[in-house]
Chains A and B, each alone.
Chain A
Amino acid sequence: MGEFEVHRVRFFGLVPAGVRCLACHPRGSRLALARTDGAVEVYNFAANYFQEKVIPGHELRTVESLCWAAGDRLFGAGLSGDITEYDLSGLSAARGVDGGGGPIWSMVANSTGTQLAIGCEDGSVKIFQVVPGGIQFERNLDRRKGRVLCLSWHPSDTHIVAGSIDFFRVIDVTSGQTVQRIMVNHHVEKAKRECVVWAISLLSSGTVVSADSFGRVQFWDWEQGTLAESHTVSTSAALSLAVSEKEDSIIVGTSTGATYQLQLLPVTLGGQEKRWVRTKPFQFHSHDVRAVAHSPTALISGGLDAQLVIRPLMEKIQKKSYDAALRKFTFPHRRLVSCARKARLLLFQFSQYLELWRLGSTEETGKDGEVLPLCQMPEHLVQLKSKGPEHIYCSCVSPCGTWVGYSTASRFHLYRVHCDGDGVSLRKVPKVPKLLPPAYQLQFSADSDSLFVASARGSVHVFQLLEPGGCKHLHTLRPPSGCSEAVYLLAPSADGHWLAAVSGDWVSAVVPSVHCPLLQHHCTVPTYNCAVSALAIHPSTNNLVIAYSDQQLLEFSIPEKQYTSWSRAVQSRGLHRAWLERDSPITHITFNPKNPSHILLHDTYLLCVLDKSLPLPDDSTLLMNQSTLKQLPETARKRQLHAFKICKKFQPLLFMDLLDENCLVVVERPIMDFKTQLPLPVQQKKFGT
């Protein structure tokens, strides 16, 4: 594997925002997720639950509810009172339409996706028509006092049920009249506390399922207005609820972090009578589970502890495979850290500011596993706050450490870093050319004299950086054919001749870089059905190494415009099963200049040195064999060696880069550190304490 001096960085204080709402695509292939900071993410189930798209948040645009409508259009509504459509190809929020009823607490689309119903603060339920290019107000339904916290359409679109505080009502859509109003805590004697209906669902049988702040899940017959069943699932509030498509299973999220499944089961074998039974409890979260979703094969929950948990239902999965594994996502599938190799600086990206740190250093040397004492402590150089309510899309520091750039939804900023002795000052580069916003990815060239800006519609802008602090727009690289998706990954080659770019629909194009006089599109890597999670160009061979979200690795020779023989060998042989069954995608690839056959990869849980010169492991051998290898004698070790050398020492790993030949930097964010930053969870009496 080789020995490295490792900078183990734990001062990246990232606190991911909690999950506010989830929306499963009706066809079940995608999941939209909104966080409490207003960021919207789209996960692709088919591509191994990869976080495909991220639309950063906005201070004024909180998202309370998300829904898919009219095919693949995603709408969000929040307390700002606006309904926003998200441009998933341009990764930005379109201009919102005012709902006209104050803050919007909930929004649902009907079964055909043609109409949106919103529940507002003032107690009104409004219906909007989804039209091409936007939405149009259609009508108001019966308004009653009390904010509408949750809504649900009947599958036949004839009725809407709206949950408020202490009651819910059923509204006939055609007449707009309230046909039934049911007090949920009517039978609770002298209930002083108000009972908030947090989530509601109207089943095709006419049963209304409500989840309320008393921790109950109740089943009502809305026509009679009677309570059919009541399940107290928790002592604290039941916050969210989702019904499976077949209406035989319900998932409920509670404020204690537990989720429960309720199933409709026959009372006796072969009997017609069925009853809802609370079956499995799951405790994956430590905080409120504000959002749940029920896909055909999995229970999905998102909590304020920023975790997205996908718990597959074993009985729905045909064969026991990788799909049956529980997944938890806490950290984004993107890089939030960039590294200035030469200057040994790290730039951390937070939602609204950047932090620049200088790595510590040591003069000692030691054996494997030893902790070396620092002679110079890591130093927080500067914090750069983004102005305005918009959150940062991307950021980058140049390899020499003198340039820092970041972009928000509307603006692109470039700064020049001046190091004078101990002090560090940042100066904004004036007259940065106005770009068509936003920039999705920034990348400095290896010699730090040019900057690549990934932009919408598949274009990449090339800037020349001028001393002592200026920049000039050189060129815009455009994809060969018309392309609508934004470029979200860039990889320049070390010699500055090539640039690889990844966009949403075309996979990976290679464009000769600035020094080449032609500046034209060179080739496109053959399309693959999964998203690219990381890519890099090898410094000496100019081979492009691509990691896909389904854990496949490909090596593409840019000069030859074809896959390399090693890559073909990997494809024909297949990767190790344990490698393919990992949860998190590779987020960064780098190379060791000392050893050209080595590729360094990492995901959240492991760091891997891939040695192309060694044979690939087959399924019968152990993938993670480093510890067993250590115990073997030298000769036996040779026989056991295989290409994947995996280290799991650093977890969860947010970033890894090679500073020089034998110096690594890893950025960890221990879960416990991040948990302490969260608000206190609901107090629960724990036995034995």
Chain B
Amino acid sequence: MVAPGALRVVRCGGSALRGARAVFSADSKYLLYVSGDFVKVYSVNTEETLRLMGGHADLVTGIQLNPHNHMQLYSCSLDGTIKLWDFMDGIPIKTFTVGTKLLALYTLASAEDSVFAVIPKKGERDTFQLVSVTLTKGAGQDLEGKELSVVLDGVGASMKHIAFGREVCSPSGFFFLLCSVGCTTKTKGGDNRFSCVVCHPKEDCIATGHADGKIRLWRNFHDKKEYTYSTLHWHHDIVMDLAFSIEGTRLLSGGVESVLVQWHNESSCQKDFLPRLGSPIEYISMSSDGDLCCTLHTDNRISIINSNLRFSRSIQGLIKSRDVKTGLVVDPRTKALVLNGEPGHLQFYSLQSDQQLFSLDIVQRQYIHQAGLKQSDLVKVAFSAQGTWLATVEESEEVTDPELQLKLWFYNEEIQSFELNTRINTPHDNHITDMCFRDMDELGDDSLILVTTGRDCVFKVWVMVEDTDPEGIILYWEICDFVGSYHNYQATNCCFSEDGSLLAVSFEETVTVWDSLTWDLKCTFCHPPGNIRNICFGRLTCSKYIIGATDYGFLCCWNLLTCALEWSAQLNVVVLQPDPLSEYIAAISWLSKESSLFVFKPNEPLPVYIQRNLCKDKILLAAFVPRDEPEITSSEKYPWLRKSQLFFLTDTQICETKILLTFFFKLAVEESLPVTPFSLLLGKHRHQQAQEDTDLGKLVVHNKQKQASPAVKELLHTPAHVLPSASFLCTIFINSLLISKEKKSAEEVADEVEMESEKAEDDSDEEDITAMEQEDTSHMELLGEMTCKLSKSQEKELRKIRKMDYSWISAL
């Protein structure tokens, strides 16, 4: 458990939905699928995600219904455990610890107390074996599952490479058909490597998919010589997965063509197609009554398909674009995260539901899947403050002479979608590097201007003009007369101050500040060597500061009033993200294979919060998403999380499979409270809740807390004179006391809280790291003192740096 009061990273969405074949419940009412570390239960009828079953510490690699109890589900994970769930209630029943990575899971009705799993062979790389895991019967929840017996050696790692077929009970014993395909080497005739295997449910027939797009149906394979096969060929590229219907009369196949093919009676002439499924099919699974089947796609989508090959519904997760060029933008209207989706599309992704809200076609061109073809793709996105205007930049992949288009979209309330308003061809002569709106809520539409910076060494200003038309007044965008440039340097970033009066544009090593009314160059800042990577203005009380991060690992803060460097720190900042609702700015650094988070206020050279080793992967992008309601409880310690949540996106590459996994993370606060009678009450309440869903992940905990304790919160934060009568409050108290029966006593909890401590490093300078024990809960004053002391000790150094830097600037 993480200490209460500490911040921790919660994986909260965007995980791959295609870790394993999805499973339909026995009555086909629910679809169970893997989403990263979780297993989700989806109601087929209501299209709602019912439950999120978390508890595995790593990716879930296989799920199978318990053949003896259709209300139970086995899941296996890379963390080496097999869990048995009651998926109707979302309760983990048992956990079997196997100890080695589990890569696939199979169950068999006739195998009473064992399941089959694929594990890596000890001592050998890239060799895997199929083992039968005996599931010991025991009373407790956590059991050992270490009794392994090897069934087959040298199997493929993918779950598609093994299939269990018909079971035969004969007097001499019990047999089952097991087939496994290996990856044979490429022969000269064609690439006929096996890609997947399935068994006919009723007959002795094996279907295999091949890399050359053929499906082979093997029969008579008991005979070493007289085995025979027939071929079904429609796919032009690798057959990704196959599935037989329950009676075996239909065979479904899918591949990169994004077409689901249904073969009847193993005949190559009778086949049906379901085309235009959007993206390559990775897994196919079929419900036990044959009514439904579902396909898992490479773009993180699950399609549910009727038995008559009608598309029914889909669950769209976060689409993993090859390269998120647009960055992570928050749609002010829906609070959804906006980023590159399918090629040429902009996806609006809701973190709350871990689903894509919608996808906006920006490029509006047919995407042709072909290697080496130059595609147009979306590279920049900007929203105006209210979300009424959306600016997008698309460019073709050609490096030398990009074909650029700037599009401006207006949100149409009637159709609840963005409509294309203006299209500007070749807004710049070279790549556009940044774009921002001047967004002032109070000034109205007239103040709305757009600034684009380009590698053609200029920044351009775009304004909205009105024109009268027979049909009425139409608005469109046009270039303003002003085109700014600075010493013929490439413009890299731009940013407006909060009130919109100042525009900061960085030109390679220099930050220039312009008056947005007169377009005069006000001042320049510089921190050589190194180009400016990011700039942003401070907000609210810190609006006189401008922050910049350079390539050579400096984070600088300049004072706009004195035109001087306020402070600077050596930090390799990859992401610099200001909170739009507060003065806090988050900087994420990447150094020696770990990402660290620093949150600071521009007016103070010391960070407010430091989290080292936030995660192992490189954080690509981050965004503050405004909360619907300001959070109060955690605000004492983490004021910067009061109004917004910080989300960030990492990019994990698993070497073997070369699948890009992207996750969204969120920083969540484990709250700690002062020890008061109320807090005891609350703590008890919370603790019990946390126990209830120990493994359900932070997100759920959060939601439940919100729902469960409004009354108590109300009580705590309402002045006494406006409180209702005690008789009214009584029931709430009693209710909260009733549930906490078999839990630890309140005192124990409190003690635990006090005992917990966390290590925090609080030095902005990477060179001298001073780790500091920091008592969390009851020693707030002490913490304050120490912070002061430390800042004093640092001030000298900072002053030195400031002097040095200043001389650099003056030299320029």
Contacts and interface: CB of A to CB of B under 8 A. Distances in A.
Nearest to B236: A687
A315 B226 contact: yes
Given A268-B166, A277-B219, A315-B225, A232 B204 contact: no
Interface stretch (B227-235, B548-556, B598-606, B707-715): B227-235
Contacts of A267: 202-204
B267 A280 contact: no
Interface string B209-242: 0000000000110110111111100001000000
B651 interface: no
B269 A277 contact: no
B62 to A, nearest CB: 28
A265 B166 contact: no
A331 B222 CA distance: 41
Contacts of B793: none
Contact of B204 (A266, A280, A314, A315): A266
B228 A280 contact: yes
B266 interface: yes
A234 B269 CA distance: 7
B270 interface: yes
Interface string B656-695: 0000000000000000000000000000000000000000
B270 A265 contact: no
B311 to A, nearest CB: 25
A232 B267 contact: yes
B165 to A, nearest CB: 10
A639 to B, nearest CB: 32
Contacts of B732: none
Q: Classify chain A: how many residues form its interface, as a range.
A: 20 to 34
Contacts of A234: 269
B228 A263 contact: yes
B790 interface: no
Contacts of B227: 315
B111 interface: no
Q: Which of B202, B220, B231, B270 has the most CB of A within 10 A?
A: B220
A265 B219 contact: yes
A687 to B, nearest CB: 6
B150 interface: no
Interface in B628-668: none
Interface string A264-280: 01111100000001111
A475 interface: no
Contact of A215 (B204, B226, B230, B269): B269
Contact of B168 (A232, A269, A278): A269
A266 B229 contact: no
A682 to B, nearest CB: 15
Contact of A268 (B204, B229, B270): B204
Given A269-B204, A687-B236, A235 B229 contact: no
Contacts of A231: 267
Q: Which of A215, A235, A279 has the most CB of B within 10 A?
A: A279
A269 B169 CA distance: 12
A59 B327 CA distance: 81
Nearest to B231: A281
Contacts of B269: 215, 232-235
Nearest to A216: B269
Contacts of B226: 315
B228 A265 contact: yes
Given A232-B267, A234-B269, A277 B166 contact: no
Contacts of B168: 268-269
A277 B266 contact: yes
B226 to A, nearest CB: 4
B166 A279 contact: no
A235 B271 CA distance: 13
Given A234-B269, A265-B228, A279 B219 contact: yes
Contacts of B230: 277-281
Contacts of A269: 168, 204, 222
A364 to B, nearest CB: 40
Interface in B708-751: none
Contacts of A687: 236
B229 A278 contact: no
Contact of A278 (B223, B236, B267): B267
Contacts of B268: 278
Interface string A629-643: 000000000000000
A687 B219 CA distance: 28
Nearest to A273: B203
A329 B229 CA distance: 27
Contacts of A277: 219, 228, 230, 266
A277 B236 CA distance: 24
B267 A265 contact: no
Interface in A624-662: none
A558 to B, nearest CB: 49
Contacts of B228: 263, 265, 277, 279-280, 315
A233 B266 CA distance: 11
Interface in B32-85: none
B236 A265 contact: no
Interface in B266-323: 266-270
Interface in B166-221: 166, 168, 202-204, 219-220
Contacts of B203: 267-268
A232 B265 CA distance: 10
Interface string A217-244: 0000000000000011111000000000
B547 to A, nearest CB: 56
Nearest to A249: B228
A267 B266 CA distance: 13
B185 to A, nearest CB: 21
A229 to B, nearest CB: 9
Nearest to B235: A687
B489 to A, nearest CB: 50
A233 to B, nearest CB: 7
Given A215-B269, A687-B236, A279 B229 contact: yes
B517 to A, nearest CB: 61
Contacts of A263: 219-220, 228
A178 B727 CA distance: 101
A294 to B, nearest CB: 15
Interface in A245-272: 263, 265-269
A181 B270 CA distance: 28
A321 to B, nearest CB: 15
B270 A232 contact: yes
A265 B236 CA distance: 29
A86 B229 CA distance: 41
Contacts of A265: 219-220, 228
A267 B204 CA distance: 6
A185 to B, nearest CB: 16
B220 A266 contact: yes
Interface string B229-269: 11100001000000000000000000000000000001111
B705 to A, nearest CB: 57
B232 to A, nearest CB: 10
Contacts of A235: 269
Contacts of B223: 315
A130 to B, nearest CB: 37
A235 B269 CA distance: 7
Given A265-B228, A269-B222, A277-B219, 17 more contacts: A215-B269, A232-B269, A265-B220, A266-B204, A267-B202, A268-B166, A268-B202, A268-B204, A269-B168, A269-B204, A277-B230, A278-B230, A279-B219, A279-B230, A280-B230, A315-B223, A315-B227
Nearest 3 CB-CB pairings of A with B = A232-B269, A315-B226, A279-B228
Interface of A: 215, 231-235, 263, 265-269, 277-281, 314-315, 687-688
26 contacts: A215-B269, A231-B267, A232-B267, A232-B270, A235-B269, A265-B219, A265-B220, A267-B203, A267-B204, A268-B168, A268-B204, A269-B222, A277-B228, A277-B230, A278-B230, A278-B266, A279-B228, A279-B229, A280-B231, A281-B230, A281-B231, A315-B225, A315-B226, A315-B227, A687-B236, A688-B236
